[in-house]
Amino acid sequence: MYGPDQQSTENPSTLAALDGVRVLDVSTLFAGPLAATFLGDFGADVVKVEHPRRPDAARGHGPQKNGASLWWKTLGRNKRDVTIDLSNPEGAEVLLRLVADADVMIENFRPGTLERWGLSPDRLFAANPRLILARVTAFGQFGPYSSRPGFGSLAEAMSGFAALTGEPDGPPTLPPFGLADGIAALATAYAIMVALRGAQRDGRGQVVDMAIIEPILMMLGGQITAWDQLGIVQPRVGNRSVNNAPRNVYRSQDGVWLAVSTSSQSIAERVMRLVGRGDVVDEEWFATGHDRAQHADELDAAVQGWIGQRDAAEVVAAFEEANAAISPVYDVRGVVDDPQYRALETVVRVEDEDLGLVAMQNVLFRMSRTPGSIRWPGRRHGQDTEAVLGELGYSDAELAALREAGAI
């Protein structure tokens, strides 16, 4: 692996786990493309397909530098970039030639769009029976909402996440980033790997129907079962938890916010002894996280009173010595400077043709034998069109004709 101040490089003696897997990323904003990024990070040959005259909308999201999208450098990493107008019949034929040699295609158009362009699943499977077609949409391929426009924010609202987030006397709160999209991206990458295993066994591809409203719902735990069995609707509790206490953010004497979690009984006992309230440990209600949560006011007051009289460094050191769980609340500066993230090499610097060395998140996990890597950041719009189509046998004259027709 590589350190935070080094460029990422491939180890030529080690094949990545997904080396030889070919992925077409025909998606945008944000779950589909991020799923493709996860596959590319571990060696898949990902070809990003953009419209020739309308670059991916993600290129316009977030800060820009020298005309380059900084978010795109991460989202588009490890992908070759081509332009094809899929609504153009000649462009659709180009895609079919790419599909014939691909293992996976990821798309997120509204249901019926590919069919309208003559690129239905039946036609794609005719070109490649082993293809895994991952269709990522807000609401899925069928049902009363399937034709509606939708984004991750709607999934965060519909799933119940927003209703649980925020202070009890405040409004429901949406996250300031693509949480539902990110969870759906992980689920999509997982679904693709499951489908690839099935194709490896019987040689047949299939459609993966990923509705962004569903994976985030699974992350919210047993709420549906609790509603079904007990009629419980979990309330908004701010930074507290309905499952344990103390669990909150507390401000130190020097103004640093610190997060404390006591998900396990032993940690809860250590925290309360550390802050001078070991007496509550023997209370009958202290024996379970659910019952402790009913006494959150008393427990929070004790923890905040103790933390508020000390600087953050002293608090963290005392919690560490007591083997209790605590962390400062970071912004991005704290993340980049944190020694644990540095040890894990979570942030790396990658050479970019537009910006020089660029810092970004590393691949999601470490593997001892077939590690992932960042081979290059997001490419320029259509940068690899000639190279990729040339691999399919298109001549210079044919490429020129396709450009003249507006197909690429």
What are the pLDDT digits (tens) for 210-257? 999 999 999 999 999 999 999 999 999 999 999 999 999 999 999 999
Please give the pLDDT value at position 15.
Answer: 85
CATH: 3.40.50.10540, 3.30.565.10, 3.40.50.720, 3.40.640.10. Which one for 22-219+346-404? 3.40.50.10540
Of the chain, the percentage scoring pLDDT greater than 90 comes to: 96
Per the annotation, the verdict on 352 as an active-site residue is: no
Domain 248-336: CATH class, spelled out: alpha beta
Q: DSSP state, 288?
A: S
Domain ranges of the chain: 22-219+346-404, 248-336
Q: Which residues contact 202 (CB under 8 A, 6 or more apart)?
A: none
Q: What is the separation, in whole angstroms, between the first and last Cα of the chain?
A: 38
Q: What average pLDDT does the chain have? A: 94
**Which one from 41, 85, 103, 181 is the annotated catalytic residue?**
181
The strand order across the sheet containing 248-251 reads: 248-251, 257-260, 326-328
Q: Which residues contact 359 (CB under 8 A, 6 or more apart)?
A: 4, 336, 347, 348, 349, 350
Q: Cα dihedral sign for 363, 367, 373, 378?
A: negative
Which tens digits make up the pLDDT trace of 312-366? 999 999 999 999 999 999 999 999 999 999 999 999 999 999 999 999 999 999 9
